[in-house]
Amino acid sequence: MIGVFLYKNNEYKENTCKMKVIFLDIDGTLVDYTSKLPASAAIAIKDARKNGHRIYLTTGRSKAEVYPHLWDIGLDGMIGGNGMYIEDNGAIIQDEKMDKEDVRKAVDWLNAREIGFYLESKNGLFANEYFLHQTISIYGENTIENEEKIRNIFPHMIFDGELYRDDVAKISFCLKSDYLDTAKKDFDGKLKVGSWSLTGARQEFGEFAILGIDKVNAVHTLLEHLGANMEDTFAFGDAENDMQMVESCGIGVAMGNAENDLKEVADYVTTDVNQDGMLKAFEHFGLI
């Protein structure tokens, strides 16, 4: 990767006046896994936008999970739901939703196994009766303190809403036993089945999503809308589900706290999210 990095870096230096489009993962990249936003990251984003660059959150989170304190940094838009939703300065470019019958089948499949889950849409997050207790167990015993921790992570979770919905982007569920493999088998050819981490330590959640939609496809769709080229893009991430984006964009940056597999394919590895990693990378590439 060193040779590729030097080539890309030199090419970048020849085009420093060009607007760059920067795609930022949220958890483990923009914020740490306690949702703490480093002041240096906010400064880097504001300064880069002042220099004419565009910045988009690119995340597994749905629109409803991108809370006001993140928008308050100053952003150009977002790609949410791992590519389901695309927004540019308030304009919705793409808003894919799961078929209602697929949602019904997934909800029934999960409830029959008493698996905690929540539906993700731009209109809110909707959990079943098992979600809270099973998610608390990620942090240990069922204590008031651990329950508060979960409620703070999902501050607007709705626990008594309709679950057979037509506005669902994807479904996240608590991993139990070998249910991830079972889900892949039972929904093969119907829904995409993946996993993600709440803590950054291990994969605690599985997810159902629409086949054929991912962050990279969404990046291409947004770039076409902007009239921008992939060679003028940066991607920042920390996890396996950022890998395709980091490999595909003009320059891919892995945080210092990133998974080793992502670091191996990245063009540049910065420091940890809580060690001014984003600011240092922006400075390194002359974005600020």
The model carries a pTM of: 0.88
DSSP 8-state code for residue 31: B
Per-residue pLDDT reduced to its tens digit, 153-212: 999 999 999 999 999 999 999 998 889 999 999 999 999 999 999 988 888 999 999 999
Per-residue pLDDT reduced to its tens digit, 229-275: 999 999 999 998 999 999 999 999 999 999 999 999 999 999 999 99
Q: Do domains 2-96+213-284 and 100-209 have the same CATH topology?
A: no
pLDDT for position 10: 43
Indicate the average pLDDT of the chain.
92
Rounded Cα gap, residues 115 and 75, in angstroms: 36
Spatial CA neighbour of 61 closest among 175, 209, 162: 209
Rounded Cα gap, residues 251 and 281, in angstroms: 11
Kindly indicate the confidence band of residue 36, based on its pLDDT and cuts at 50, 70 and 90.
very high
pLDDT for position 17: 55
The CA angle 253-256-260, to the nearest 5 degrees, is 85
Strand runs (DSSP E) across 163-231, as ranges? Answer: 170-174, 192-196, 205-209
Kindly indicate the confidence band of residue 13, based on its pLDDT and cuts at 50, 70 and 90.
very low
Is residue 1 predicted with pLDDT exceeding 60? no
pLDDT for position 222: 98
pLDDT for position 177: 80
Q: What are the tokens at 251?
A: 């320059």
* Domain map (residue ranges) of the chain: 2-96+213-284, 100-209
Average pLDDT over residues 38-42: 98
Kindly indicate the confidence band of residue 4, based on its pLDDT and cuts at 50, 70 and 90.
very low
| CATH for the stretch 2-96+213-284 | 3.40.50.1000
pLDDT for position 201: 80
Distances (CA, A) of 248 to 24, 34, 71, 131, 187: 14, 28, 26, 35, 28
Amino acid identity for residue 188 in this structure: D
In the chain, which ranges are continuous DSSP H helix? 2-13, 39-50, 68-71, 100-112, 131-136, 144-153, 179-186, 215-226, 243-248, 260-265, 277-284
111, 128 contact by CB (below 8 A): yes
Spell out the CATH class of 100-209. alpha beta
Instruction: Give the percent of the chain with pLDDT over 70.
Output: 94
Rounded Cα gap, residues 142 and 285, in angstroms: 46
What's the longest Cα–Cα distance across the chain? Answer: 58
Rounded Cα gap, residues 4 and 108, in angstroms: 48
Is residue 11 predicted with pLDDT exceeding 80? no
DSSP 8-state code for residue 9: H
